[in-house]
Amino acid sequence: MNKAIIFGYITKDPELKTLPSGIPVCSFTVATNRVWKDKDGNKQESAEFHNVVSFRQQATAIAQCMKKGSQILVEGRIQTRSWDKEDGTKAYRTEIIAENARFGAKPQVGQSNEKELELFEKKDEPVIDPETGNDCSEIPF
């Protein structure tokens, strides 16, 4: 079984591109952290950074409504791709291909800007991204 589930924060604004076939593809990085106590009882922390790729409607929605610092839960499969670099060496990149994504919890005051807070505070009204004017309430995931 090839299944990955991560919950973390987007490290920089998602990048949206279009494949030659016309399919939208969005790539972004999610940071996750782990906290534990070592054998002496001292708190230890480590962060992991995961490359994520999303396609089609989900890719467009993530690019329009998510940004650096947004919480996201991603479910998908792990895939490693390779290519030949200009210098003739082989390069590898391991990614999570998102099959399902969910927005994180409502941002806390002080952790995001006012525009992002507005997106989450309006529950009965359509959720409109104030920067792009896109309706984020109809996102299919």
Q: 42, 62, 61: which is closest to 52 by C-alpha? A: 62
Residues in the chain: 141
For the chain, residues with pLDDT lower than 50 are 109, 111-130, 137, 139-141
Q: What is the pLDDT at residue 135? A: 53
Q: What is the pLDDT at residue 123? A: 39
| Ordered domains of the chain (ranges, CATH) | 4-105 (2.40.50.140), 106-136 (no CATH)
pTM reported for the whole predicted model: 0.71
Helices and strands in the chain, H and E counts: 2, 6
Q: How does pLDDT run across 78-88, given as a tens digit for each residue? A: 999 999 999 99
Q: How far apart are CA 122 and CA 128, in angstroms?
A: 9
